[in-house]
Structures are given as C-alpha cells and as structure tokens.
Amino acid sequence: GIRGRGYPADTLYRYHYFLQRAEQLEMHTDVVFYMDVDLDVGESVTPEEVSPTESRPLVAVRHPLQNHGGTPEIRPSSRAFIPPSLPRPCYVAGGFVGGRTPEFLGMSREIARGIDEDDDGEVVAVWHDESHLNRFFSSNTALFRVLPPSYLYPETWNISYGARITVRRIPHGDNRFATESFAAVCGWVRGGACE
C-alpha cells in the first residue's frame, strides 16, 4: 500500500506511486487513468470519449479554473518552470489524466525525475505535481488529447458548458484550502491542442 505523507506530498509524489506499480501496469493494462477521489463520473460518459487516440496517446483535461495559460511555475529554479520558448496552448488539470500505458509511464518517469531534482534543490513547484504535468504538456503538446473542462466541472459552479465529470466539494478541514475560492474566466484556445 501507499502510506499517507500529508499535504502536499500526497499529491506531489503521485507519479512516483504510479511508477511503484509500473511492472504490474505494463503487464496487465493497455490504458491507465488517474482520477482524484472527489470526482463523480456521470453514467453517460463512455470510454471512447475520454480514451487516448493512436496519434494522441495521452489524455488531460483543460483546467476549468484557469484562463488560457493558467498559473504555471514561474521560478527557473524549479524543473516545472515553463520557459517562454515552449508553447502553452492551455493549462491542464492534474485531477484527471491518463493514456496508453507505455506513454503514461514514460510521462510519469519524466515528471518524477523533475520532482526529484526539485527535491534536491529544495524547491516545491507552485502547484506541485500539476505544475510538473504542465511542464511536460508544454514540451509534448502533440502527444495529448485535451478534453474540455466539462470533464472536471466544479460542483457548485453554474458555467455555460455541461458537466460530464463533476468535482465534488469535499471539506478538507480547518486550513486555507477549505475556504479558498477560485474565480477565472475560461476561454477556448482555437487552432491548438486545447480546441
């Protein structure tokens, strides 16, 4: 099993946890998905609508609370830093990501390596594993099938697109994350991976 390490380690090291099971995943799965525990998948979501494709072996969801480029890591001291030379067609969420097993594990290895290098430099990326995911996405945009934010629809929001997978509001105790609220305008990115 996986021993809880507390926040933010439990989320930051998720790609390390996937790699602990790499051999079993390689032997027994064609496709791997990670979904946060607070997600509620509607009955009408089909495997075909969220699965990777031949040309886009990885799947991510455009973040519903981030406008266009989102809030990536801006400190060059972090391996999650996205230099201006890399494309940023959108910002993807860490709560629902997947892909064909070989590509998913390859992504996991690269993200885990970046986190380990940050650890060596005593740096924690601004949005933890999600910052590293966005760095990988920016370097490998063509590998991703990007789903619209309706696949991570915040439960308490009334947004103009319909919910396919709902993010349920779960109380997290007496900390800043329990009372924090987010506001952002979501816009479509035309002509790119996030269309």
* Residue 154: predicted pLDDT: 85
The token pair that represents 46 in the structure block: 């089909």
CA 184/CA 195 separation, integer angstroms: 18
Q: Is pLDDT of 9 > 80?
A: yes
CB 32 within 8 A of CB 101: yes
Question: Does the annotation list 73 as a binding residue?
Answer: no
Q: Which of 11-15, 25-29, 150-154, 177-181 has the lowest mean pLDDT?
A: 177-181
Tokens describing residue 136: 């990988």
- Name 49's Cβ contacts closer than 8 Å, sequence gap at least 6: 147, 164
The 10s digit of each residue's pLDDT in 55-101 is: 999 999 998 876 666 788 999 999 999 998 988 889 999 999 999 99
Q: Is the pTM of this model over 0.75?
A: yes
Q: Do the Cβ atoms of 128 and 79 come closer than 8 Å?
A: no
Residue 10 known to bind ligand: no
Side-chain half-sphere exposure of 102, counting CA atoms within 13 A: 3
Separation CA 92–CA 44 (nearest Å): 23
In the sheet with 144-147, reading across from the earlier edge strand, the strands are 31-35, 92-100, 58-62, 144-147
The predicted-structure confidence for 62-72, as pLDDT tens digits, reads as follows 988 766 667 88
Tell me which residues are annotated as active site: 130
| pLDDT tens readout for residues 144-180 | 999 999 898 888 877 777 888 888 877 655 443 333 3
How many C-beta atoms surround the C-beta of residue 176 within 10 A?
A: 7
Q: What is the dihedral of CA 3, 24, 18, 153, to 10 degrees?
A: -110
**Paired sense of beta strands 165-167 and 39-41, if any:** antiparallel
CATH number of 9-179: 3.90.550.10
Please state whether the peptide bond connecting residue 76 to the residue before it is cis, i.e. omega within 30 degrees of 0: no
pLDDT-above-70 percentage for the chain: 84
Domain ranges of the chain: 9-179
Residue 130 assigned as binding residue:
yes
Backbone φ and ψ for 133, nearest 5 degrees, come out as -60, -45
Distance CA 154, CA 150 (A): 9
Q: Is 37 assigned a ligand-binding role in the annotation?
A: yes
Residue length, the chain?
195
- How many other C-beta atoms lie within 10 A of the C-beta of residue 27? 8
